[in-house]
C-alpha cells in the first residue's frame, strides 16, 4: 500500500479540519462501497420481484414450460431461479406457521400439483378401494398413463370455481394425503367433498381444514356425499368428522354382477362449528 501526504491530496480547509482529530498519524481511507449490478437503475429490484413471482407460481403447480413462455426465458433459466441457493431460495419453512390458516395439529394443506401423481400410484389402485372411491371399475393403465391423467386433472381444475384440489403434508413436509371440494353451489350453499390418506388421522385432519374453509370462508352451508354400502374405507372417516346418514338410494350402482345401495351423508356448517 502506497502512503501519500494528506497535504498533497486534500484542500487546505479540509486538511485543517482533519488535523483537529489526528496529526502525524497514518490513516486508512476506505473505498466508497461499490453498488451491486442493477442497484442504480432499479433492474436488480425488478428481477428480484420477477424471480419471487416465478417461485410462487411454481410452488402453486405452474409447470416449467408455462413459466418459460410467460417470462420469455429458457426452462434452464427458470430452474436456476427456482432452485437458487441463498436467501432467495423457495423454502416452505419461511412461512410463519403460527399464523398459517391451512394448518392444524397434524397436517398443513396446499394446492395439488401436477407432480403429485406419484403419491397416488399404489398397489391397491385397481382394488375395491378405488371402486368405493370412484363408483366404477377402472380400466388398466400404466404409470405413464396415470401421470398424464393426473396432470390433466390438476390443470383442468386449477382455476375452477367448481372444484378445488388439495394435498396434505405432515409438518415435516411429507405427503400425507389429499382431497377436494367439488360441486360448489354458491347460491344454495351446497357442495361435496372427497378426502383420502394413508392414515385415517391425516384424512380427518385434512378434511377439517377444507371444511373450515368451505363453511367459514366461502359461506357454504351444507356438505353432502355418498358411500357405497359396506364401504369400510371412506365412510368411517366422514362419520368421525361428524357427517350423519340422511338417506339411502337403493340399487344405485352396478358392480361385479350386482346392484349396490348408496348411503347419503351430510354435514351442516352449524354442526361442524359446534364440534370445533
Question: Which of helix, strand or coil describes residue 139?
Answer: coil
- 258-268 and 164-170 strand pairing: unpaired
Which residue is it, cell 388398466?
140
The answer to whether 214 and 191 are in contact (CB under 8 A) is yes
Cα angle 196-201-204, degrees, rounded to a multiple of 5: 60
- Say if residue 1 is exposed, middle or buried (CB neighbours under 10 Å; 0-12, 13-18, 19+): exposed
Mean pLDDT of the chain: 82
CATH H-level, domain 95-275: superfamily = Gcn5-related N-acetyltransferase (GNAT) (3.40.630.30)
Residue ranges of E strands in the chain: 107-111, 164-170, 175-185, 190-197, 222-228, 244-255, 258-268
pLDDT tens for residues 229-264? 988 888 999 999 999 999 999 999 888 889 999 999
Reported residue count of the chain is 276
Put simply, whether the predicted model's pTM sits higher than 0.85 gets the answer no
pLDDT for the residue numbered 84? 64
Beta-carbon contacts of residue 139 (< 8 Å; ≥ 6 apart): none
pLDDT tens for residues 28-78? 677 665 655 555 666 777 888 888 888 878 766 788 888 888 888 888 888
- 3 state SS for 190-226: EEEEEEEECCHHHHHHHHHHHHHHHHHCCCCCEEEEE
pLDDT for the residue numbered 131? 66
pLDDT for the residue numbered 266? 98
Amino acid at each position: 500500500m502506497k502512503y501519500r501526504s494528506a497535504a498533497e491530496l486534500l484542500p487546505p480547509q479540509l486538511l485543517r479540519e482533519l488535523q483537529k482529530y489526528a496529526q502525524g498519524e497514518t490513516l486508512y481511507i476506505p473505498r466508497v462501497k461499490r453498488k451491486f449490478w442493477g442497484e442504480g437503475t432499479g433492474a436488480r429490484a425488478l428481477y428480484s420481484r420477477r424471480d419471487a413471482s416465478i417461485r410462487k407460481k411454481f410452488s402453486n403447480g405452474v409447470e416449467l414450460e408455462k413459466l418459460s413462455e410467460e417470462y420469455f426465458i429458457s426452462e434452464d433459466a427458470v430452474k436456476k431461479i427456482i432452485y437458487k441457493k441463498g436467501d432467495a431460495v423457495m423454502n416452505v419453512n419461511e412461512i410463519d406457521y403460527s399464523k398459517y390458516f391451512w394448518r392444524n395439529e397434524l397436517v398443513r394443506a396446499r394446492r395439488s400439483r401436477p407432480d403429485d401423481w406419484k403419491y397416488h400410484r399404489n398397489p391397491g389402485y385397481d382394488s375395491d378401494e378405488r371402486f368405493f372411491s370412484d363408483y366404477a371399475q377402472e380400466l388398466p393403465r400404466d404409470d405413464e398413463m396415470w401421470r398424464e391423467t393426473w396432470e390433466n386433472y390438476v390443470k383442468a381444475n386449477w382455476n375452477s370455481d367448481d372444484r378445488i384440489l388439495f394435498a396434505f403434508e405432515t409438518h415435516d413436509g411429507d405427503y400425507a394425503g389429499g382431497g377436494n371440494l367439488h360441486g360448489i353451489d354458491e347460491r344454495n350453499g351446497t357442495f361435496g367433498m372427497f378426502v383420502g390418506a394413508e392414515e385415517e388421522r391425516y384424512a380427518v385432519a385434512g378434511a377439517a381444514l377444507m371444511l373450515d374453509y368451505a363453511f367459514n370462508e366461502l359461506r357454504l352451508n351444507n356438505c353432502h356425499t355418498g358411500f357405497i354400502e359396506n364401504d369400510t374405507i371412506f365412510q368411517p372417516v366422514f362419520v368421525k368428522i361428524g357427517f350423519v346418514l340422511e338417506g339411502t338410494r337403493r340399487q344405485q350402482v352396478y358392480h361385479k354382477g350386482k346392484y349396490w345401495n348408496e348411503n347419503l351423508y351430510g354435514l351442516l356448517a352449524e354442526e361442524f362449528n359446534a364440534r370445533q
